[in-house]
């Protein structure tokens, strides 16, 4: 648990916990701790302060009464706290967006309690249908996400046909699916890839086919965090000088190094996760940007440009 919360944090919780106790007299400390995710010790500590609070002149008939008997709590003389504080803008947005996001997951129950709960929230937050969360394209079939989720839950080994965007090839791999998640607006499958002999993240919209191998696998020790891209230690690096027009590169990809050089261009170093990925990036760079090093990457970029030019009947010697 983090450091002890300050007075403001304690007040925030208390303004939510007291109304619940008032509505559920005799609730146990343990239940409160589970329900609100607050350690029992801290709830007890806050409840010890409450009997010193109330209204002037702070005589016994005006102070909040807290009865704690056999771990069961009752509160009286706090009618003014019988409802929680309204949502802040950020809270209202966050809970609604979380709900709308979960409903956008393929296979979610379009008539279940979440839908009803969001309709009730709309009573205080206003019309919610304009808040749209798209979790990512799901590729070949609506069922892919649920098929993968089921395989994760059952620890079922899969054979997937995967289009590697970075290398521009389709491959078939056997994987142990660990987790399915959405990040940065795309769905990912985190899995152990038997071909690579390493953990891999697969974009779900690039999974072209899914078949069960019939095998199962043991639970992984640690499921990798839901991040989208980690520079592989073995990935080659490329150094580039970007003109202002190509600032999008810095905004779109995780850069390992970045600084502004004398002529106003931005020097960046990126990890190259695949040749085709780099070719696309290089061909999109404007005329004032430059690939600095290594020579291998300069060569790859020029060869890619020549290959595309060949389609237009233009021969370039590189």
Partner 1 sequence: MTIDRFERLTNLVAVMLATRRPLTLDEVTERVPGYPEALESRRRQFERDKETLRELGVPITLAVTDHLGGTGDVAYRILPGEYYLPDLELTADERTALAAAVTAVHIQEGQGREALWKLGGGGDTGTPRLAALPTVAALPRLFEAYRLRAVASFRYRNEDRRVEPWAIVFRRGHWYAIGFDQVRGAQRSFRADRVEGAVDVGPPGRFERPADFDPQTALRDQPWSFGGDAAIEALVLIDDTHAQSIVAQLGEEAVVERRADGVVVRLAVTNREAFRSFVLGFLDRAEVLSPDELRDDLVEWLRIRCAGPGSPA
Residues 176 to 215 in contact with partner 1, rule: CB under 8 A = 179-186, 205
Contact 114, 99 (CB under 8 A): yes
Written as six digits, the tokens of 155 are 């620890």
User: Considering only residues 67, 71, 142, 168, which one is a binding residue for partner 1 as defined by CB under 8 A?
Assistant: 168
Written as six digits, the tokens of 138 are 């799901």
Q: Which of 196, 268, 273 is nearest to 231 (CA)?
A: 273
Burial (0-12, 13-18, 19+ Cβ within 10 Å), 57: exposed
User: Considering only residues 29, 125, 256, 269, which one is a binding residue for partner 1 as defined by CB under 8 A?
Assistant: 125
Identify which of residues 234 and 312 has a Cβ nearer to partner 1 in the complex: 312
User: Considering only residues 2, 59, 69, 120, which one is a binding residue for partner 1 as defined by CB under 8 A?
Assistant: 120
Q: How far is the CB of 287 from partner 1 (least distance, A)?
A: 5
Cα(241)–Cα(257) distance, rounded to whole angstroms?
12
Identify which of residues 68 and 85 has a Cβ nearer to partner 1 in the complex: 85
User: Considering only residues 26, 30, 84, 254, which one is a binding residue for partner 1 as defined by CB under 8 A?
Assistant: 84
Q: How far is the CB of 288 from partner 1 (least distance, A)?
A: 6
Instruction: Report the alpha-carbon angle 24-26-27, nearest 5.
Output: 65
Contact 14, 21 (CB under 8 A): no
17 is an interface residue for partner 1 by CB under 8 A: yes
In sequence order, which residues have a C-beta less than 8 Å from that of residue 167 and are 6 or more positions away?
Answer: 274, 275, 276, 277
Q: How far is the CB of 170 from partner 1 (least distance, A)?
A: 8
Q: How far is the CB of 173 from partner 1 (least distance, A)?
A: 18
Q: How far are the Cα atoms of 167, 170, 318 from residue 303, in angstroms, in the given order? A: 15, 22, 7
- Using the rule CB under 8 A, give the single segment among 68-76, 95-103, 193-201, 229-237 that binds partner 1: 95-103
29 is an interface residue for partner 1 by CB under 8 A: no
Q: Please give the radius of gyration of the chain, using alpha carbons only, rounded to the nearest integer.
A: 28
53 is an interface residue for partner 1 by CB under 8 A: yes
User: Considering only residues 7, 69, 222, 262, which one is a binding residue for partner 1 as defined by CB under 8 A?
Assistant: 7
Q: How far is the CB of 73 from partner 1 (least distance, A)?
A: 15
Distance in Å from the first CA to the final CA of the chain: 60
Write out the H or E segment, with its range, that includes residue 147: helix 143-154
User: Considering only residues 28, 42, 106, 133, which one is a binding residue for partner 1 as defined by CB under 8 A?
Assistant: 133
In sequence order, which residues have a C-beta less than 8 Å from that of residue 303 and are 6 or more positions away?
Answer: 318
Identify which of residues 153 and 196 has a Cβ nearer to partner 1 in the complex: 153
Q: How far is the CB of 212 from partner 1 (least distance, A)?
A: 21
Q: How far is the CB of 59 from partner 1 (least distance, A)?
A: 13
Q: How far is the CB of 197 from partner 1 (least distance, A)?
A: 26
Residues in region 243-282 near partner 1 by CB under 8 A: 276, 279-280, 282
Q: How far are the Cα atoms of 135, 260, 281 from residue 287, in angstroms, in the given order? A: 35, 18, 13
User: Considering only residues 61, 67, 134, 244, which one is a binding residue for partner 1 as defined by CB under 8 A?
Assistant: 134
SS3 67: strand
């Amino acid at each position: 648990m983090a450091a002890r919360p300050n007075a403001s944090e304690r007040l925030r919780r208390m303004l939510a916990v007291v109304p619940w106790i008032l509505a559920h007299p005799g609730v146990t400390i343990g239940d409160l701790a589970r329900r609100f995710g607050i350690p029992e010790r801290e709830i007890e500590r806050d409840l010890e302060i409450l009997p010193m609070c109330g209204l002037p002149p702070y005589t016994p008939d005006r102070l909040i009464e807290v009865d704690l008997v056999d771990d069961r709590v009752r509160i009286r003389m706090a009618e003014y706290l019988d409802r929680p504080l309204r949502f802040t803008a950020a809270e209202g947005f966050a809970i609604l967006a979380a709900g709308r996001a979960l409903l956008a997951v393929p296979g979610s129950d379009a008539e279940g309690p979440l839908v009803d709960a969001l309709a009730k929230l709309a009573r205080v937050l206003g019309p919610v249908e304009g808040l749209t969360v798209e979790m990512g394209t799901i590729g070949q079939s609506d069922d892919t996400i649920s098929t993968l989720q089921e395989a994760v839950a059952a620890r079922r080994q899969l054979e997937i046909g995967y289009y590697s965007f970075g290398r521009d090839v389709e491959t078939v791999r056997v994987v142990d699916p660990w987790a399915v998640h959405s990040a940065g607006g795309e769905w990912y499958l985190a899995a152990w890839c038997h071909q690579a002999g390493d953990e891999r993240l697969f974009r779900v919209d690039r999974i072209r086919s899914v078949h069960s191998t019939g095998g199962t696998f043991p639970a992984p020790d640690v499921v990798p965090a839901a991040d989208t891209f980690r520079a592989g230690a073995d990935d080659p690096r490329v150094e580039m000088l970007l003109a202002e027009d190509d600032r999008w590169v810095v905004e779109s990809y995780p850069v390992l190094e970045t600084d502004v050089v004398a002529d106003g261009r931005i020097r960046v170093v990126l990890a190259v996760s695949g040749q085709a990925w780099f070719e696309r990036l290089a061909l999109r760079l404007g005329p004032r940007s430059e690939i600095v090093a290594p020579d291998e990457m300069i060569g790859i970029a020029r060869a890619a440009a020549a290959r595309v030019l060949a389609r237009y009947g233009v021969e370039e010697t590189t």
